[in-house]
Chain A
């Protein structure tokens, strides 16, 4: 079982559309993991049945049980996050500000503060239209540390892939360079970087590649909307060569990306011309590179 992760540094590069096309091409041999939990969109193209759903708890939030509170104010004084305020001598926690550090509960003389588990989101296992399975999630509003939810989604996908003897896990990775993308990348056999030829595209590509290098994972790159800025595109290609990143393909600026999305379809279902051909070729390369047989 091989693990392929698609990331882009920043959103809007077409990462999810490309990942969904790969999932379609891979069919029943590919378990999909949508690790872009902060803005999970893959399900809009995959017709998931939400067969299994479970709440996900991470971290804590303080709660003042009023019955034993003697209004001493100690909890408010120690909190560094303005998490506790007093109205008419009634001490209450603002769950949005509370970081769940637990300090207030430790100093409360009457032990009347409890730390409750924080509901951080929901995760799902679904049958999808590719004939395979997708693990996906939804992060709760204002939740901290989506990295843990990302890790959960990935591990579940991995277990399913092993149990059902699937060839690949395909991960739609998280944006940014923080903890969630680190969780997305750990254990990957191959990384597909999706970028676009713009000043910010190149800038984000370089930053996210720093991270990929640390993990020592082989990487390939797809330049989307390549024809929008040929000069920038050439700069990106130079960067790829310099860093020994496989240049998988260039995709043209094509509004079919959006037209397919509006119909809830992947590119390879909607388009039967050049775009489909380029994506299919790329997927074949990715599979071989991911299996180390290039």
Chain B
């Protein structure tokens, strides 16, 4: 037990399918051989890491966001609230006010500025959080309700749950959603270190350059892991060198790895060179983040 906060490593990529989940699941399992670790799947639209672990469910809770609820008995139909909402989540239809929960960002403007308190905020389910345990590995995933459009709040609440529950765990790994938009920013903004996963192909290079731009905007320390190394060309490697980006590891391209992944199996036990890469990646992250002690 230590009173240090966990070392927070986020794993991200410019787009899906580059091996982000492969890396986060294998890295978490590798660390769990020795240390308590928590793996958090923040890809809330398509959480997939859970397919790799069959753990014991230790906790399950619904996650809520706050939305306004119209109180017809108080409302004077003054017509202000539709003008207050920048997301068109409140509209007036004849003698009623309608709320569209999926569009609401929970800014509270309509609720607090309604002159007669006719729009109190109430909780509305936005997703489900599940927490599993397999020996030293804790695994948390959140899943967005179908049709819900605001992933950001669920991501931020999941991070809060992890901070409250696993403050004494030495390492936390966050599997981030792909892309460069709001949800990725939310998932990576308070990480100590970000690992960007890419492939050595023209698509991989292009998506990586966007992800790098995102990390530079957030002023995050980051490094790159090249997955399926050997399949394309060396442009990604050259790019990292030119841009002074640390290259943490190269995971070889192999049909065998693809097969293991396709059956939902971890692969590092079968590949000594991958185990070595995971160990290098971990060492690098620990050294890169000053004060981290594992």
Binding site for B on A (CB under 8 A): 9-13, 16, 36, 38-39, 41, 44, 59-60, 78, 80-81, 96, 99-103, 106-107, 139, 141-144, 146, 175-179, 196-201, 203-204, 207, 210-211, 225, 228-229, 232, 253, 255, 258, 261-262, 264
Contacts and interface: CB of A to CB of B under 8 A. Distances in A.
27 contacts: A11-B15, A11-B18, A16-B203, A38-B180, A39-B14, A39-B15, A39-B210, A41-B15, A80-B108, A96-B217, A101-B105, A103-B108, A141-B214, A142-B184, A144-B182, A175-B16, A177-B46, A177-B146, A178-B144, A197-B262, A198-B264, A199-B264, A200-B48, A207-B146, A211-B146, A228-B259, A232-B262
Contacts of A255: 231
B70 interface: no
A232 B261 CA distance: 12
A178 B231 contact: no
Interface residues of B, number: 53
Interface of B: 14-19, 21, 45-46, 48, 51, 84, 86-87, 105-109, 112-113, 144, 146, 149, 151, 178-182, 184-185, 189, 201-203, 206-207, 210, 213-214, 217-218, 231-233, 255, 258-259, 261-264
A177 B109 CA distance: 29
Contacts of A228: 255, 258-259, 262
A264 B202 contact: yes
Nearest to B214: A141
A80 B181 contact: no
Contacts of B144: 178
Contacts of B107: 80-81, 99, 101, 103
A102 B217 contact: no
Contact of A178 (B48, B149, B214): B149
Contact of B86 (A102, A201, A258): A102
B218 A96 contact: yes
A106 B182 contact: no
B83 to A, nearest CB: 9
Contacts of A262: 201-202, 232-233
Contacts of B105: 99, 101
A196 to B, nearest CB: 7
A176 B46 contact: yes
A288 to B, nearest CB: 29
Contact of A80 (B51, B106, B262): B106
A57 to B, nearest CB: 14
Contacts of B261: 198
B274 to A, nearest CB: 18
B69 to A, nearest CB: 17
Nearest to B205: A44
A175 B151 contact: no
B114 to A, nearest CB: 12
Most A C-beta atoms less than 10 A away, residue of B210, B218, B261, B262: B262
Given A10-B17, A11-B17, A39 B178 contact: yes
A197 B263 CA distance: 9
Contacts of A261: 201-203, 232
Of all A-B residue pairs in the complex, the 8 with the closest CB atoms, nearest first, are A12-B17, A11-B16, A39-B15, A101-B107, A11-B17, A198-B262, A199-B264, A38-B179
Nearest to A43: B206
A81 B21 CA distance: 29
A27 B18 CA distance: 30
B217 A199 contact: no
A272 B35 CA distance: 52
Contacts of B19: 12
A9 B46 contact: yes
A127 B207 CA distance: 23
Contact of B262 (A36, A107, A229): A229
B263 A144 contact: no
A20 B1 CA distance: 54
A223 to B, nearest CB: 12
Contacts of A178: 45, 144, 149, 151
A252 to B, nearest CB: 11
Given A201-B262, A232-B263, 6 more contacts: A41-B203, A99-B105, A101-B86, A143-B182, A199-B264, A200-B48
A146 B258 CA distance: 31
